[in-house]
Structure 1
Amino acid sequence: MAFPYLASGTGARGQDAGNTLGVTVPDDAKMLLAADELIYNRDAQNVSAVGGVQINYNGYRMVAQRVDYNQQTGRVMAVGNIELVEPDGNRIYADSLDVTDDFGQGFINSIRVETLDNTRFAAESGERVGGRDVILNNGVYTACLPCADKPDRPPLWQIKAERIIQNGEKHTVRLEKARFELFGNAVAYLPVAVVPDHTVKRKSGFLFPKMSMTENLGFGVTVPYYYVISNHMDATLNTTGYTKQGVLIDGEVRRRYRNGSVKFQFAAIKQARPGAFAAGSSDATSDARGMIGSSGEFKINPRWTFGWDAMYQTDNNFAYTYSLEGKKQSTFTNKVYLTGLGEQNYFNASAYYFDVQNADALNASEKSQAVVLPVVDYSYVAPEPIAGGELSADLNFTSLSRYKADTSVVGNSRRYRGLKGYMSRMTGEVEWDRTFNLGGLLLTPLVAARGDAYGFNMTGPTNYAGNFTNEASATRYMLTAGLEARYPILMTTDNSSHVFEPMAQIFARNDEQLAGRLPNEDAQSFVFDTTTLFSRDKFSGYDRVEGGTRANVGVRYTGTFDNGFGLNAMFGQSFHLAGLNSFATPDLVNVGADSGLETKKSDYVAGAGVTTPYGVSVAVNTRLDEKTLDVRQTNAMVGFSNKRLTTNVIFTQLAAQPEYAFATKSNEIQTNSSFKLNDNWSTFGSLTYDIDNKLISKYGAGIAYGDECTTLTLAYSEINDKNNTTANDWAVNAVLTFRTLGDIKVGTEELTNND
């Protein structure tokens, strides 16, 4: 029978000063022992516990078949199916154990260690010295689980070493005569290696190398070095050697504060073979290239945030060509911002400068971009109802300058996307609305008032058919009175429910003032479909404002079925009733041309979607010519997903818009898929096909593997870049991750795997 025994702490010695592992034994620590049989030898001052021994002492728990405790020497000897659970949760298994009573030093045979993060150590024998160091002889380390069917089979990867020494003071693990094995075969050998132990979150030293392979850079190997400067500051220095372009040096210094963080980046290279790039490109005409950048964000208080992200480079394509971390976007936005968020209001003040990263040696696109300094947005919603309804207010201030005009020609039409000079605009708007329920009929009256004030000094467009203002300032206003009516009708059957919702809106407004006579900087993008049908102002920004009297009508349907099917649909049309039609009034970018709203009766817009319990989903959004019913615009998506296959196909069709965007029609198919071959392996791929030009503009494919200790992703991607706007048309990318050890990367771009 079990016999509990409490031993006083005087029989156990406190941990000496040499033990820096953080396990301090109090003088009054108690030992709880339970066993089938307890034997006392008072002459030898030895206590033996035999059969089903359980010991709890100072956070340690141990079970064994037999434990002998010598009170004179203070040593604990255990044999037979030993399992020791340390205070941090690690489990140690052994055949025999001989340690001091504070577990600070001793010997152990046939040791096996399992940590909380599912890593495993095993060794023929082990020794703990001075309460500080742990020495394993002929040790093996892995993060892989043993094969359930064949436990004797070697794990996917493991590290073997003649001696493994864990230093509890320096928190390092020293591997002597170590070899790295894959599938039981040695693939790398190191005479000596020192790595941080599992208690260390940050440790200076070399990281896993990275590799890359691209068209014009060649094969590259990156050796990263990580350096801990202080508890709140560190840095990474990367040295990359490219077979075609030489050595790239780039680095990053990071510092964390109590309420935020700052990051500084730099990179430089002297290209060995600029001629490998397309002739005349910025990559080919540049020799010594470099970049500096910085980003940061600070929480001023729970509501206010201040931050920035900025970059300066010697030419317009360096960061994009060499895929510098955080700076490799095709258009990088330099910004400084201040944001405030309250329960009823929102504030943002930002400044922007746009780095257009392409291979144009003249950097024409970037030079024609606006410098925005600043743009300020503020919105407010009254906390209490006003006259039973909701009152809201919005304010926008935008100030920008451009040093070169941004113009383009579409078909026979010239578009002025930006004028040379300076412009500022202040816009304020107040809106009130309230919804009434009249026996199921939902009526929402709305009133709104908006005012704009402009100040500018811009070079007017040449050969412009409109009448661009020559004044240094301008003002305009817009007053709106509107009414929305909705009547949801619910129909149910034994196995389904259906909601039909006829909707109608009417907005009475004055004409848009100065239409086509003002710059248009932020309302250049325009799409008319079911998502914008019931918008009060269908323009995308502040520089254009919808005027005149307009009615929007349509019907919305939603159906759900007990068998898991779901349906949704919407159909509608917009009518210009009176006043000036803003969409028929051209401006500097012809934003309303060919939009479907430039006539008295708009084009028809429709959308529908189906979801099924079998993983199939279909969604279609289209615009039909109001006279001929010709399809003017289509976005269609078909998707399928189950346990093994995930795929979707997107079809986009745009009729020619010679006055606005496209001189000819555009038809394109995009698809991406992933297929799970088994529990560990999967494949994935993507493709973009230009139907009109009968070419594949972009494609990629790859394969991925993943288990509890290893992941691998390998992919190839290529872009059909006829205009040489990118430095590398194709790239090979791969990431091999050994859990707890690190990543081996091949490639510079992010991999796409939809699995």
Structure 2
Amino acid sequence: MMAHLLRLLILCLMLPGLAPVAALAQQSDAPAVLVADRVWLEGQSRVIAEGAVEVMQGDVRLRAARVSYDRDSERLLIDGPIILTRGENEVIVADAAELDRDLRNGLIRSARMVINQQLQLAAARLDRVDGRYAQLTRATVSSCQVCGTRPPLWQIKARRVIHDREEMQLYFDDARMEVLGVPIFWTPRLRLPDPNQTRATGFLIPSIKRNSQLLTGVKVPYFIKMGDHRDLTLTPYLSSETTTLEWRYRQAFANGRITFEGAVSEDTLYNKGRAYVQGYGQFDLPRDFDLSFTIEAVTDDAYLTDYGYSDADLLESNVTISRVRSDEYIEARLGHYFTLRPGESNSEIPSIVGNVLYEKRLFPRLGGELRFKAEEHSHLRYSTTPGLGRDVVRLNAEALWFNTWTLPLGLRAEGLVGVHADGFITRQDALPANQSGVSPTAALTLRWPWVRNQANGVSEVIEPVMMAAWTGGSGLAVANDESTRVEFDEGNLLSLSRFPAPDRREHGLRGALGLNWTRIDPQGWDARLTFGTVYKADVDGNFSPSSGLRNSVSDLLIAGQFRNQAGLSLTARGLFNHDFNINKAEARAGWSSDRYALSASYVWLSADATENRPSNVSEWLFSSDFDLGRHLRGSLEGRYDIAADEPVSAGMGLLYANECVEVELSVSRRFASSTIVTPATDFSLTIGLRGFSAASASGRGVAKSCR
């Protein structure tokens, strides 16, 4: 046996036809290795290898029962069964083959090709041309598992199929699409990407969409590859009520990327053309700066909701330059806002907003940390009417010193002293044109953590907390344009000011008391519970009644979180007044696993005219995603207005996916109505054939089992 192998290896190196078997991968210069049970010379020009013949070079491997090489004709005759593989992405199985010495040209009989372990191409004859093209005659193409003599779920039969390895494309002549053996579609020419393709110009998966306003239509996206770093997708959307062209443009740069998308429509709902555009981008700039931008624009208030593009009621366009370092933060931002809300006028809201922020941290030798902050903010309204067209420029600066100490009995103390300086310029309003003030401040926070560690690894911490703070000066006579919504929660219980922006500050003497309980179990469940309240020497009328902070003694804050190893998580927070009535409350729950994902939330907000909320808000919403079988997954979602006792929206979806097809069905209903939005029902159906892109190889599909 060793003599046969040695003789065959010598012949492999001598014969120019057998050594370059890796001409299937011409770039490889690795030596070819040929193994067989028997090898002999027949005459002066024929070499025959027989019995478990195997030829290997690089990632190419050829297995056959018999291989003969004729030096005069430079032809290889290969008897099967034949298995020819190239890496993991291409396998050819055949009965017999006749190829040239480089295996680049010739024919293979009764061949079956598998590309990227997804797509099967079976043909009576396969012709190789220049090592690049594979021409299959009387071919059948499918990515479905074939069970016995039963037809697959889908298949494409064609008189001829050409596979271009370099372009990663499949070209069909006289193609017929069959579903369960029943012909449903024929075309003289068809081009599809092969499973190795990641980006190629061509049609994407179409979808059928029905809207109660726009009726039934079809979307047919067309992807245009514009080089390796940019592309354009055009999606015509046609129905009896609308003619729409959706589009998306993407481009990647060496230092960033941009994406723009939008749509243009002519429909029966509006007497003029309609359109929207949305874009965003990010770029890395020199010296660690970052540039980002967002663009949002629409022709009319109802367009986004009519077509289901977005539920946004306030559009924001902005450009931001920022830099983040461990001891420094710089940001310059310019934004534009456009409201779609009924009853709001774009001339009366702050439409143009500019902001420049600088923060610096220093660590002096005396200990602690110094923080400096300077900010310029301005907002402009288009209206020139006094009051309604108020324009404001705000300048703020602050210097704060922090330090922490560990006291006896494990008590932790944090001290703060500093000063705030504020200046305001107001135009087109009855308020004073110029206001300024300086506010010194000091605060002391005490924490006393009690820790218990158990033998099973569970740790519990009970931590009483207390804060005493004082801020001098008094409030300025300036408009409240930024701090209109104040959220009191466990995150700002011990904050120096609970207003979201420095156009308002808390002044005078105040304090806070709280209690935290935390449980940590690496193998079980974790939980955290917080109680807190705020005390003030003076009532602050800048807080809204529902904020829980307006009185000298705030509402009681109760907040909690829970999480376990089974995927269940709960979060809740509430503000309870002195009669233990709820001013604000919210709760969220989630439960996730490999087979399902469930989430629900509830919110309660009491009526508050200062927050533009004339009546109570009480709503819950839920969403779910769950397996209904090996191939079927469902989803449900809904939103209900408890205060109005009516649904807001509802939806459901089904997704069927196996190794060769993906079908997605969704139905949704919007019940809400306003002066610009009417109730509507949306239906969408998308059917995609798997196996014609590299992305489908990593999808959810699980192969069907044969029974």
Q: Does 1:451 align with 2:412?
A: no
Q: Deviations over 1:333-381 (max 9, x none)?
A: 11222232334323222211123346x6xx8443333233421223333
The answer as to 2:593 corresponding to 1:610 is no
Return the match for 1:427 from 396, 404, 417. 396
Residues 387/727 of structure 1: CA separation in 2 closer, same or farther (3 Å cut): farther
Q: 1:675 — aligned with what?
A: 626
Matched to 2:398, the amino acid is: E
Indicate the residue corresponding to 1:598 in structure 2.
550
346, 349, 367: which one pairs with 2:347? 367
Q: 2:234 aligns with which of 234, 237, 249?
A: 237
Q: Is the 8 A contact 1:571 1:606 kept in 2?
A: yes
- Do the aligned residues in 2 keep the contact of 1:11 with 1:74 (CA within 8 Å)? no
2:701 matched residue in structure 1 = none
- Deviation of the 1:14 alpha carbon: 11
Alpha-carbon deviation of 1:214?
1.4
TM-aligned CA distance change 1:632 to 1:168, over 3 Å: closer
What displacement does 1:52 show?
A: 1.9
What is the rounded CA distance, in whole Å, between the counterparts of 2:353 and 2:619 in structure 1?
38
Mapping of residues 168-567 of structure 1, within 5 Å: 172-197=169-194, 201-230=198-227, 232-245=229-242, 247-262=243-258, 267-271=263-267, 273-274=268-269, 284=270, 286-291=271-276, 295-301=280-286, 303-323=288-308, 329-357=312-340, 364-382=344-362, 384=363, 386-404=365-383, 419-438=388-407, 439-460=409-430, 469-471=431-433, 473-495=434-456, 496-514=458-476, 517-560=477-520, 564-567=524-527
Per-residue deviation, 1:575:
0.8
Partner secondary structure for residue 346 of structure 2: helix
CA deviation after TM superposition for structure 1 residue 290, in Å = 4.0
- 1:464 corresponds to: none
The amino acid across from 2:119 in the alignment is T
Q: 1:411 aligns to what?
A: none
**One-letter code of the match for 2:134?**
V
C-alpha contact 1:593 1:660 (8 A) present in aligned 2: no
Q: Which amino acid aligns with 2:504?
A: R
Q: How many Å apart are 1:55 and its aligned residue? A: 0.8
1:559 partner SS: strand
Structure 2 distance, partners of 1:262, 1:167, is 32
For this pair of structures, how many residues does the alignment match? 687
Change (3 A) 1:679 1:394: farther
After the TM superposition, which residues 97-136 of structure 1 pair with which residues of structure 2 at under 5 Å, given as runs?
Answer: 97-116=97-116, 118-136=118-136
Conserved 8 A contact 2:112-2:121: yes
CA distance 1:347–1:118, shift in 2 (3 Å): farther
Shift of 1:518: 0.9
Q: Distance between the aligned counterparts of 1:262 and 1:498, measured in 2? A: 48
CA distance in 1, matches of 2:326, 2:405: 26
**Taking structure 2 as the reference length, what is the TM-score of the superposition?**
0.88
> Offset of 1:181 from its aligned partner?
3.0
Separation in 1 of the partners of 2:177 and 2:104?
Answer: 31
Query: Taking structure 1 as reference, are residues 346 and 97 closer, same or farther at Cα in structure 2, changes over 3 Å only?
Result: farther
Give the C-alpha shift of residue 393 in structure 1: 2.8
Which runs of 5 or more residues in structure 1 are unaligned? 275-283, 407-415, 461-468, 744-755
* CA distance, structure 1, for counterparts of residue 298 and residue 609 of structure 2: 37
Change (3 A) 1:608 1:295: closer
Q: Which residue of 2 aligns with 1:712?
A: 663
Counterpart in the other structure of 2:705: none
State the match for 1:31 in structure 2.
32
Separation (CA, whole Å) in 2 of partners of 1:404 and 1:155: 67
Whole-Å separation in 2 of the counterparts to 1:474 and 1:259:
44
Q: Kindly, what percent of the aligned residue pairs are identical?
A: 24
In the other structure, the counterpart of 2:702 is none
Quote the Cα distance in structure 1 between the aligned partners of 2:179 and 2:335. 50
- Over 3 Å counting, the alpha-carbon distance change for 1:563 and 1:316 in structure 2 is closer
The amino acid of 1:478's aligned partner reads S
Distance 2:472 2:46 in 1: 102
Question: Taking structure 1 as reference, are residues 650 and 74 closer, same or farther at Cα in structure 2, changes over 3 Å only?
Answer: same
Rate the CA distance shift 1:173–1:672 in 2: closer, same or farther, 3 A.
Answer: closer
How much has 1:711 moved relative to structure 2?
Answer: 2.8
Q: What's the offset of the Cα at 1:13? A: 9.3
Quote the offset at 1:117 in angstroms: 5.2
Question: 1:11 — aligned with what?
Answer: 16
Q: Which stretch has the larger CA shift, 684-693 or 196-205? A: 196-205
Rounded Cα–Cα distance in structure 2 between residues aligned with 1:675 and 1:213: 25
Give the CA deviation at 1:502.
0.9
Give yes or no for contact 2:24–2:60 (8 Å, CA) kept in 1.
no
Residue-by-residue CA offset, 1:389-436 (whole Å, 9 max, x unaligned): 233333322122002399xxxxxxxxx9x8413221122223322222
Give the letter aligned to residue 715 of structure 1.
S
Q: What residue identity is the alignment partner of 1:308?
A: F
Q: What is the CA-CA distance between 1:131 and the residue it aligns to?
A: 3.5
Q: Secondary structure at the residue paired with 2:518?
A: strand
Q: Secondary structure at the match of 2:141?
A: strand
**RMSD (CA atoms):** 3.3
Change (3 A) 1:605 1:130: closer
Q: Give distance in 2, aligned partners of 1:507 and 1:719.
A: 49
Aligned 1:145-156 pairs, distance under 5 A: 146=145, 150=147, 153-156=150-153
Instruction: Report the more deviating stretch, 337-346 or 2-11.
Output: 2-11
Residue 644 of structure 1: how far off its partner (Å): 4.1
CA distance in structure 2 between the partners assigned to 1:570 and 1:557 by the alignment: 7
Find the aligned partners of 1:85 and 1:45 in 2 and give their Cα distance.
28
Match in the other structure for 2:53: 53
C-alpha distance in 1 between matches for 2:319 and 2:241: 37
Change in CA separation of 1:630 and 1:242 when aligned onto 2, cut-off 3 Å: same
SS at match of 1:8: helix
List per-residue Cα deviations over 1:6-59 (Å, max 9, x = no partner).
4337613999xxx9x994368x76421111222123x34222222222212364
Query: Judging changes above 3 Å, is the alpha-carbon distance between structure 1 residues 545 and 101 closer, same or farther for their aligned structure 2 residues?
Result: farther
Correspondence 1:686 to 2:632: no
TM-score (norm 1): 0.83
Residues 711-746 of structure 1, C-alpha deviation per residue, up to 9 Å, x if partnerless?
333221122223143356321234333234479xxx
Name the CA distance, whole Å, in 2 between partners of 1:653 and 1:168.
Answer: 61
Q: Which residue of 2 aligns with 1:700?
A: 651
Q: Distance in 1 between matches of 2:148 and 2:401?
A: 71
Q: Distance in 1 between matches of 2:279 and 2:364?
A: 45
CA distance in 1, matches of 2:72, 2:123: 30
Q: Spell out, residue by residue over 1:128-147, the C-alpha distance to the aligned partner (whole angstroms, 9 max, x if none).
A: 12434211122222334x27
Give the Cα–Cα distance (whole angstroms) in 2 for the partners of residues 367 and 304 of structure 1: 34
- Partner amino acid, structure 2, of 1:731: D
2:351 aligned partner, one-letter code? V
How far off its partner does 1:504 sit?
Answer: 0.9
Aligned twin of 2:529: 569
Q: In the aligned structure 2, how far is the partner of 1:614 from the partner of 1:266? A: 42
Structure 1 SS opposite 2:426: strand
For 1:633, the equivalent position in structure 2 comes to 584
Q: Kindly tell me: are residues 720 and 115 of structure 1, through their superposed partners in 2, closer, same or farther at Cα, counting changes over 3 Å?
A: same
Mark the CA change 1:151 to 1:657 in structure 2 (over 3 Å): closer, same or farther: farther
- Between 1:87-96 and 1:442-451, the stretch displaced more is 87-96
| C-alpha contact (below 8 Å) 2:196/2:693 kept by paired residues | no
Q: Which runs of 5+ in 2 are unaligned?
A: 695-707
